[in-house]
């Protein structure tokens, strides 16, 4: 897979290249551009499958590029501002990364690209050779948990939400039981059926059945009231970059 990076900060370009090499070595950066004018020329000239695009450039915004050249590939927007999320998703955007973003955030965006292509993650070069079947996605059905010396298998239908708390990951059931899993939230997100679960922020993956009500919050964010509730003092807020996808998930 070939990608173009449109970014006017050299350090950001280097950091993105390095992180891509770690999480998605099959993505080759074939060109970079640092301005609207240069980006329009590069996009028209260089073959590519994906674009990483900063919104604020020296001579305009990333959205100006769409008015100068036709873009027919997915775009992952990268910006320090959270006010352009809706416009980004209206312009080929499949994800919206807020600076500074981490390895996990970039991995999530790459995984989303793979889901749009029909697989759980972006397929390797070997798996996309002509004649190779698209691998079947297998989601987790049960979780083995331990309570002291006893063990229990929790069905996916019983889960209300998963909550990261420091080095611990909690599985909370619809009847309020709380278990510790030896997993990470990023790893878990790939194993859950997307029609049932949604990751609303860096700390929470919630099930549709656990939503009691939703409330407009500051900016474009959404506050979700869960049942069973979170620990006192904690709120379930949908991150700005996830709001468009969350609305689509609810309106399917």
Q: What is the CATH number of the domain that holds 154?
A: 2.40.50.1020
Q: What secondary structure letter does DSSP report for 124?
A: P
Please give the residue range of the domain that contains residue 190: 142-250
Q: Which of 100, 117, 134 is the last residue of a domain?
A: 117
Say whether pLDDT at 135 is over 80.
no
15-29, 125-139, 147-161: segment of lowest average pLDDT: 125-139
Same domain, 178 and 111: no
Q: Which of 117, 150, 169 is the last residue of a domain?
A: 117
What's the number of domains the chain is made of? 2
The torsion angles phi and psi of 152, rounded to 5 degrees, stand at -145, 145
Judge whether 137 lies within some domain: no
Q: Place 127 in a pLDDT band, splitting at 50, 70 and 90.
A: very low
Please report the pLDDT score of residue 91 as a whole number. Answer: 62
Please report the pLDDT score of residue 121 as a whole number. Answer: 40
CA distance 175 to 152: 15
Contact 122, 3 (CB under 8 A): no
Same domain, 14 and 95: yes
**CA torsion angle for 240, 15, 104, 167 (degrees, to 10)?**
-110
52-66, 158-172, 179-193: segment of lowest average pLDDT: 179-193
Judge whether 38 lies within some domain: yes
Same domain, 31 and 90: yes
Judge whether 134 lies within some domain: no
Q: What is the CATH number of the domain that holds 100?
A: 3.40.50.2300
Judge whether 77 lies within some domain: yes
Judge whether 128 lies within some domain: no
Contact 36, 55 (CB under 8 A): no
């Amino acid at each position: 897979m070939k990608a173009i990076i449109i970014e006017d900060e050299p350090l950001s370009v280097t950091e993105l290249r390095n992180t891509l090499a770690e999480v998605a070595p099959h993505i080759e950066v074939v060109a970079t551009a640092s301005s609207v004018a240069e980006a329009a020329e590069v996009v028209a000239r260089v073959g590519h499958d994906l674009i990483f695009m900063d919104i604020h450039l020296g001579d305009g915004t990333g959205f100006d590029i769409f008015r100068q050249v036709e873009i027919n590939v997915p775009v992952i927007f990268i910006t320090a501002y959270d006010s352009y999320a809706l416009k980004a998703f209206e312009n080929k955007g499949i994800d919206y990364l807020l600076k500074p973003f981490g390895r996990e955030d970039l991995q999530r965006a790459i995984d989303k690209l793979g889901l749009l292509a029909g697989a759980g993650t972006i397929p390797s070069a070997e798996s996309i050779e002509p004649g190779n079947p698209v691998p079947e996605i297998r989601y987790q059905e049960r979780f083995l948990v331990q309570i002291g010396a006893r063990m229990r298998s929790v069905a996916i239908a019983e889960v209300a939400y998963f909550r990261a708390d420091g080095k611990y990951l909690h599985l909370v059931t619809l009847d309020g039981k709380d278990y510790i899993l030896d997993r990470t939230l990023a790893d878990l997100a790939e194993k859950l059926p997307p029609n049932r679960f949604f990751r609303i922020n860096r700390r929470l993956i919630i099930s549709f059945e656990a939503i009691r009500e939703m409330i407009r919050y500051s900016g474009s964010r959404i506050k979700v009231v869960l049942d069973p509730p979170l620990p006192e003092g904690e709120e379930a807020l949908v991150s700005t970059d996830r709001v468009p996808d969350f609305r689509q998930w609810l309106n399917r």
